[in-house]
Amino acid sequence: MIGLGHYNTLSLKRKTDFGWILEDDEETEILLPNKYCSNSFKVGNSIEVFCYLDSNERPVATTLTPKIERGKFRFLKVKSITKSGAFLDMGLEKDLFLPYREQTQKFSEGEAVLVYCDLDQKSMRLYASMRWKKHLKTEIENLELNKAYEALVVTKTNLGFELIVKEKYQGLLFFSDLIYDISIGQSLQVYIKNIRQDAKLDLNLASIGVDRLTQAASEIYERLLQEDGFLPYHDKSSPDEISRVFKMSKKTFKSALGILFKQTKIKIEKNGIRLV
């Protein structure tokens, strides 16, 4: 079955005056308009396309890259606002409709808003919803502590930043665990520090454990080599200064210094650290 709102790998079936007809394994057909076709197309070859309903409500394929897919969360720019809802730029010829009933706050044209992309099962149209939390999973499956996952920074609270992890789960990155500046709308890699009973995640920006400490020690050592063997930082330097310069927490920095010291690669002086 051809999935609307998703990428599909389809076969080139035949060429028409309007474009190429593509089909899936169940012989369901869809049109790829001429503007997206190549002279190199051959019957039987496969092509990956994004499928959705065009402005005339007809299923259509495109080789354009959408800014959002069905079942995912993204910040999209508001192109226009009407009485029934707003239209968002999703990177295709047709804009994504955000119904008034799915809006949770006021916004202006040109503003980027966080939305979830879903499919109306009756009309088969894609639509956007700002009620993003209701689309998150309430049970944790196949997640591991201290493993890297892709995440989207969605909002800022009095405790830290809230993120959506793996397009499924809600996570919190506490201000105290920030080792570099992040911003709302940013996609980044996070590590799971704790899985809470309410199915929410506590996050880190770096892995915890021997591997991370070894990596941190290597980064400091390379920095020393680049700076003629001396750096004006030590275990008494402020956490903000360590975070700004080395992009790691003060705790990780001190542990990494301990590794280098035990390996007799550095000596710690009153005003900094020096290669031995």
One digit per residue, pLDDT tens: the chain, 276 residues? 899 999 999 999 999 999 999 999 999 999 999 999 999 999 999 999 999 999 999 999 999 999 999 999 999 999 999 999 999 999 999 999 999 999 999 999 999 999 999 999 999 999 999 999 999 998 998 899 888 999 999 999 999 999 999 999 999 999 988 878 899 999 999 999 899 989 999 999 877 665 678 888 889 999 999 999 999 998 888 888 888 888 888 888 888 898 899 899 999 998 999 998
Beta bridge partners of 87: 80, 97
How much is the pTM?
0.77
Of 118, 119, 197, 190, which is closest to residue 150 (Cα–Cα)? 190
- 67 CB neighbour count, 10 Å cutoff: 17
**Residue-level pLDDT at 211:** 67
Write the CB contacts of 110 (distance below 8 Å, at least 6 apart in sequence).
77, 78
Q: Give the domains, in start order, of the chain with CATH numbers.
A: 7-62 (2.40.50.140), 73-133 (2.40.50.140), 148-204 (2.40.50.140), 210-275 (1.10.10.10)
